[in-house]
A and B are shown apart, each in its own frame.
Chain A
Amino acid sequence: MAILSSASSNVIDCDIHPTVPSIDALLPYMNEHWQDTIVQRGVHELETISYPKNAPLTVRPDWRPKKGVPAANVDLIRKQALDPFGTSIAILNCLYGVQLLMSEDMASSFASAVNDWITAEFLDKEPRLRASIVIPTQSPEMAVNEIERLANDERFVSVLMLVMDENPLGRRLYWPIYAAAERHSLPICVHAGSTYKHPVTSVGWPSYYTEDYASNAAAFHNMVTSFICEGVFAKFTDLKIVLAESGFTWFPAHLWRLTKFWRGLRAEIPWVDRPPIEIAREHFRLTLQPIDAPPTTEQFEQLMNHMGSDEMLLYSTDYPHWQFDETNVIPEGIPKDLAIKIMEQNPKNTYPRLSAPLNNGIDQ
């Protein structure tokens, strides 16, 4: 089970989560107007119902510090997320409710503040860390500005979006974001979570957190459909989409279905000129954890065959979320050479900036 740290000396963890300890931590990175606004209006913390802070899944028990906020500083991340796993590089995907805000101006201010906080508190302090750029998806124009503002700093290696935004992610209004990302060799990281602009299911709001979390998988199905059917990859031929904290065992069955319907309905989407399952294997990558795994190793091996590619999975711990115990990140049924590919080569092939010499933008 715990073969990983001995198996490779170059482990790349593609999905870990730093916590914004409080809104106060962001104030130094905002202009006077927003500092005033947040204090005068008593703006609340932007933690979201996607991860209720005391829910078992949100933080693994042994990763809850006795005092203070989990995963909120670089020391905790070193001690819990990097060292025990022999991680050489880890990508920070900060899940703070920026994308949920109704005002695009407020969202833009928060996005910049989060990115600058990540730079100062993590990237500048720990050379093993990289990050995704948080963008205000409420305004594609402002989102592009934020990408352009940070693109010179190559410690930012991707662009973060939530799987449930106000519109399906393939829709053309988001395309300026994809153009900017492709221009700067940044994949788009689509992460579990909702902006809650719509009910999380197509039948309305559920009753339990368990359902909310489960619904992410359906939304990932929907967004794979959307990216492909809208023709995002016909337009942005180099773009990679990383589906993070998505689970992956649903992937083959969904693409079988989409490909079958494409055969019957391709006249509606003529820019999709080859089977969606081929497009999907080329452009989508999925992080390893959580694994919604079948009960037996034999079934897991069959499922891995159904995936039809050894290039799609990217190693991730999903720290501090509780997806596994100890250091058992890689499940039975993944042979050692594939494990090494998942930990090292697949991430490098997905994030061009992980292979390039590091430029933090300061020397430019």
Chain B
Amino acid sequence: MNIDILSHEKNLLKSRARIAVADCDIHPSPKSVEIEIFPFLSKRWQEYMKTYGVIYRQGFPTGPAFPKGQPNAARRDSYPTSGGKPGSDLAFMQSQHLGPNNIQLGVLNPLQCAQGVQNQDFSAAYCNAVNQWQIEQWTSKDHRLKASLMVPYEDPLASVKEIEKWAGNEHFIQVLLLSRTAEPLGQRKYWPIYDAACKAGLPVAIHAFGYGGAPVTGGGWPSFYIEEMVGHAQNTQSLLTSMVIEGVFEKFPTLRLILVEAGFAWLPALSWRLDKLWDRMRDEIPQVSRPPSQLIREHVWLTTQPMEEPEVSNQLLDTIEWIGWENLLFATDYPHWDYDDPSRAMPIKIDKHQKESFFLNNALKLYGLEQ
């Protein structure tokens, strides 16, 4: 949350159990799109962007439909001393976050730029540029950081090309989609993306947010930013339901799905609901071969931030047991305001093995980075 962390740094450092951490959700930004991204865009798309801007399925070209709770949705102390946006300076990120928090693996998820853009060709070119930029500015300079392969997911064939272009490149450890797609992600349109990701040996991560055009609730647009934020969890439930019920995990048995920044405590109740409905309506959905809860347990991982916080903190342990410790991946969401601090995020006593799995090993195993 939005507290002045820097001034408490010494105290924090003393109390912090300096366990090694994999942070599965870090948001890098370019200092300036013209300086850092344009070198990877053709003249045509540079001119296009200067003339028309980036047009998403929403009305405001310079900001989100719901103004954030903080400028740039960022921690107030995350602005680099060198200037520029939060998350735009590697040295600052190293000294504020990667070093003090003992981050061994940081997964970069560039947001709010190239995906969900209305112009499909531009989206493809822009994704490719951001992919090159991640290597140039980040992962080649700090080997703790790994990149996400951005694809223009509303154009699955272009997405496949982009995946094939980078397959085998060790800088990329997952394919990245946003959750607010134009159609439910289980639908056939998107299957070539899953096919290509499986062939490239990459998990598919789906980060909350995006621009599909539909209201964030089935009952229309809410009034408040908090409603949209909370709504990301329901949005993610809808896309997961679609992927399970359409039979995506039967069709792609090696697919590994990572749900990013949508919380996790909602998963058990959804699984129970789907199991019950599967049992009742099997004649409608014969493509689903097993109880949805089993498919989810085998194919789905969730990043933890923002961790749900029950009044009785031990109740979270029940919930994690129901999900499975091995299915959770720790994430901070640095540099965003709703950042979960690794030294405070798990308020419950857990044993050493659980702790190491939760904070590090689950991620290393999933991404194939075990020593």
B231 CB contacts on chain A under 8 angstroms:
202, 221-222, 225
Q: A198-B219, A201-B214, A247-B269 are in contact. Are A225 and B230 (CB under 8 A)?
A: yes
Picked from B182, B273, B274, B306, the residue with its CB within 8 Å of the CB of A204 is B182
Interface assignment of B361: CB less than 8 Å from any CB of chain A: no
A204 CB contacts on chain B under 8 angstroms:
181-184, 212, 214
Interface assignment of A213: CB less than 8 Å from any CB of chain B: yes
**In the complex the two chains form, is A206's CB within 8 Å of B184's CB?**
yes
Picked from B69, B222, B239, the residue with its CB within 8 Å of the CB of A203 is B239
Picked from B219, B235, B263, B272, the residue with its CB within 8 Å of the CB of A294 is B272
Interface assignment of B265: CB less than 8 Å from any CB of chain A: yes
**In the complex the two chains form, is A257's CB within 8 Å of B184's CB?**
no
Q: A203-B183, A250-B269, A292-B273 are in contact. Are A208 and B219 (CB under 8 A)?
A: no
Interface assignment of A177: CB less than 8 Å from any CB of chain B: no
A201 CB contacts on chain B under 8 angstroms:
184, 214, 218, 235, 238-239, 241-242
**In the complex the two chains form, is A250's CB within 8 Å of B69's CB?**
no
**In the complex the two chains form, is B269's CB within 8 Å of A292's CB?**
yes
Interface assignment of A219: CB less than 8 Å from any CB of chain B: yes
Q: What is the distance, in angstroms, from B71's C-beta to the closest C-beta of chain A?
A: 14
Q: A202-B235, A217-B273 are in contact. Are A256 and B219 (CB under 8 A)?
A: no
Q: What is the distance, in angstroms, from A353's C-beta to the closest C-beta of chain B?
A: 27
A28 CB contacts on chain B under 8 angstroms:
none
A199 CB contacts on chain B under 8 angstroms:
214, 218
Interface assignment of A305: CB less than 8 Å from any CB of chain B: yes
**In the complex the two chains form, is A57's CB within 8 Å of B280's CB?**
yes
A172-205 Cβ-contact flags toward B at 8 Å (1 or 0): 0000000000000000000000110111111111
Interface assignment of B277: CB less than 8 Å from any CB of chain A: yes
**In the complex the two chains form, is B337's CB within 8 Å of A264's CB?**
yes
Interface assignment of A55: CB less than 8 Å from any CB of chain B: yes
Q: A203-B214, A229-B224, A258-B230 are in contact. Are A249 and B219 (CB under 8 A)?
A: no
Picked from A197, A202, A249, A260, the residue with its CB within 8 Å of the CB of B180 is A202
Q: What is the distance, in angstroms, from B166's C-beta to the closest C-beta of chain A?
A: 26
Interface stretch (choices B30-38, B85-93, B103-111, B308-316): B308-316
With the chains together, A293 CA to B241 CA distance in Å?
17
Interface stretch (choices A64-72, A162-170, A338-346): A162-170
**In the complex the two chains form, is A222's CB within 8 Å of B315's CB?**
no
With the chains together, A258 CA to B306 CA distance in Å?
11
A221 CB contacts on chain B under 8 angstroms:
230-231, 233-234, 266
A322 CB contacts on chain B under 8 angstroms:
280
Interface assignment of A127: CB less than 8 Å from any CB of chain B: no
Q: What is the distance, in angstroms, from A296's C-beta to the closest C-beta of chain B?
A: 10
B246 CB contacts on chain A under 8 angstroms:
207-208
Interface assignment of B221: CB less than 8 Å from any CB of chain A: yes
Interface assignment of A306: CB less than 8 Å from any CB of chain B: yes
Q: A256-B308, A264-B2, A292-B273 are in contact. Are A167 and B219 (CB under 8 A)?
A: yes
B237 CB contacts on chain A under 8 angstroms:
217-218
With the chains together, A305 CA to B310 CA distance in Å?
11
**In the complex the two chains form, is B220's CB within 8 Å of A306's CB?**
no
**In the complex the two chains form, is B1's CB within 8 Å of A264's CB?**
yes
Residue picked from A56, A197, A207, A213, most chain B C-beta under 10 Å: A207
With the chains together, A303 CA to B283 CA distance in Å?
30
Interface assignment of B64: CB less than 8 Å from any CB of chain A: no
**In the complex the two chains form, is A211's CB within 8 Å of B69's CB?**
no
In chain B between 272 and 322, which residues have their CB closer than 8 angstroms to a CB of chain A? 272-274, 276-278, 280-281, 283-285, 293, 306-312, 315, 318-319, 322
Picked from B1, B2, B276, B285, the residue with its CB within 8 Å of the CB of A208 is B285
Chain B residue, CB-CB nearest to A259:
B309
**In the complex the two chains form, is B219's CB within 8 Å of A164's CB?**
yes
Q: A166-B219, A264-B338, A299-B322 are in contact. Are A210 and B227 (CB under 8 A)?
A: no
With the chains together, A171 CA to B219 CA distance in Å?
11
Interface assignment of A265: CB less than 8 Å from any CB of chain B: yes
In chain A between 285 and 342, which residues have their CB closer than 8 angstroms to a CB of chain B? 290, 292-295, 299, 302-303, 305-306, 308, 322
Residue picked from A195, A223, A267, A268, most chain B C-beta under 10 Å: A268
Q: A217-B273, A292-B269 are in contact. Are A163 and B219 (CB under 8 A)?
A: yes
Q: What is the distance, in angstroms, from A320's C-beta to the closest C-beta of chain B?
A: 14
Q: What is the distance, in angstroms, from B39's C-beta to the closest C-beta of chain A?
A: 34
24 A-B Cβ contacts within 8 A? A56-B281, A168-B220, A198-B215, A205-B184, A206-B238, A207-B242, A207-B246, A209-B281, A210-B285, A211-B245, A217-B270, A221-B234, A225-B227, A229-B223, A229-B227, A249-B273, A250-B266, A254-B230, A256-B308, A259-B309, A262-B226, A299-B318, A299-B322, A306-B319
- By a beta-carbon cutoff of 8 Å, the part of chain B in contact with chain A is 1-2, 69, 179-187, 212, 214-227, 229-231, 233-235, 237-239, 241-242, 245-246, 263, 265-266, 268-270, 272-274, 276-278, 280-281, 283-285, 293, 306-312, 315, 318-319, 322, 337-338
- By a beta-carbon cutoff of 8 Å, the part of chain A in contact with chain B is 55-57, 163-171, 194-195, 197-211, 213-215, 217-219, 221-223, 225-226, 229-230, 247, 249-250, 252-254, 256-265, 267-269, 277, 290, 292-295, 299, 302-303, 305-306, 308, 322
